[in-house]
A = this chain, B = another copy of it.
Amino acid sequence: MFRGVMESAKEFKKVVDTVSTLLDEICFEVDEEGIKASAMDPSHVALVSLEIPRLAFEEYEADSHEIGIDLEAFKKVMNRAKSKDKLILELDEEKNKLNIIFENTGKRKFSLALLDLSASSVKVPDIEYPNVIMIKGDAFKEALKDADLFSDYVILKADEDKFVVHAKGDLNDFNAEFEKDSSAIISLEVKEETKSAFNLDYLMDMVKGVSSGDIIKIYLGNDMPVKLEYSLAGVNLTFLLAPRIEG
């Protein structure tokens, strides 16, 4: 059996929104500890991983299950969440469906057919990074959107004093500098100067659900994938994106 109750459907909606822009379907590995999933995006450029510890739920009860879900349908359902709706996720083993229930003054139950997926063997690789930047989520997100005006990729740079988001178009260019003591920077640990280019669409998709108050941990190195980590509604999200090969 599996049943989990969350306080805010609206908050969890952001998680599904973000994951569904990168993936078409997902296999949730459910057990008594909580829920896990990880997968490569269809073009195998980005890795998405999420972890929902049982503590993220108000109530939680589960045996071991693999629950395959179409993320387009999941997103459509979550978009119907209202501000004060409570969220109940519940496996109907008999009908082979996942029930998504919004509870407020009434009770609205959506039942999604399960997909026959196996849990992915892809896990977040255990890389040691020379540089770790903790930055306010909206500052980073806005800088990516700024960069998007002029280019389809972005260069992330870090040295001892600052973290820089840079974009270079044919004619125009953009630069956001976050000094070590800027109010957007929580911490800046740089052992090695780095400068790497990344696809901008993927990065923007990865931070889609981030809003003001959220904090993103960025792991950077030379010729390494960038790793982003943050939490939404008690869900730990991790993203990896391979660097762009410069011509």
Binding site for B on A (CB under 8 A): 73, 76-77, 80, 82, 97, 105-113, 136, 139, 142-143, 145-146, 149-150, 171-178, 182-184
Q: Of A150, A172, A182, which is in contact with the most chain B CB atoms at under 10 Å from its CB?
A: A172
Distance between Cα atoms of A73 and B174 in the complex (Å): 12
Contact status B113-A172, CB under 8 Å: yes
Set of chain B residues within 8 Å of A106, measured between Cβ atoms: 139, 143, 176-178, 182-184
Contact status A77-B182, CB under 8 Å: no
Identify 17 residue pairs between A and B in the complex whose beta-carbon atoms are under 8 Å apart, listed by A's number.
A73-B149, A76-B149, A77-B149, A80-B142, A80-B145, A105-B136, A105-B183, A106-B143, A108-B143, A108-B146, A108-B174, A108-B176, A109-B175, A109-B177, A110-B150, A111-B174, A112-B171
Contact status B184-A110, CB under 8 Å: no
Copies in the complex: 3
A183 to chain B minimum Cβ distance, whole angstroms, is 4
A154 to chain B minimum Cβ distance, whole angstroms, is 13
Distance between Cα atoms of A77 and B113 in the complex (Å): 45
Distance between Cα atoms of A197 and B43 in the complex (Å): 42
Sorted nearest first, the 10 A-B pairs with minimum C-beta distance are A113-B171, A105-B183, A109-B175, A108-B176, A112-B172, A106-B184, A111-B173, A76-B149, A110-B174, A80-B146
Set of chain B residues within 8 Å of A142, measured between Cβ atoms: 80, 82, 108
Set of chain B residues within 8 Å of A173, measured between Cβ atoms: 110-111
Q: State the majority secondary structure of interface residues on A.
A: mixed
Contact status A172-B139, CB under 8 Å: no
Distance between Cα atoms of A214 and B183 in the complex (Å): 35
Residue of B82, B105, B146 near A184 (CB, 8 A) is B105
Q: Of A73, A106, A109, A149, which is in contact with the most chain B CB atoms at under 10 Å from its CB?
A: A106
Contact A172 B108, CB 8 Å, known A80-B146, A142-B82: no
Distance between Cα atoms of A110 and B146 in the complex (Å): 8
In the complex formed, the residue of B with least CB distance to A150 is: B110
Distance between Cα atoms of A108 and B165 in the complex (Å): 9
Set of chain B residues within 8 Å of A73, measured between Cβ atoms: 149, 171-172
A159 to chain B minimum Cβ distance, whole angstroms, is 16
A211 to chain B minimum Cβ distance, whole angstroms, is 14
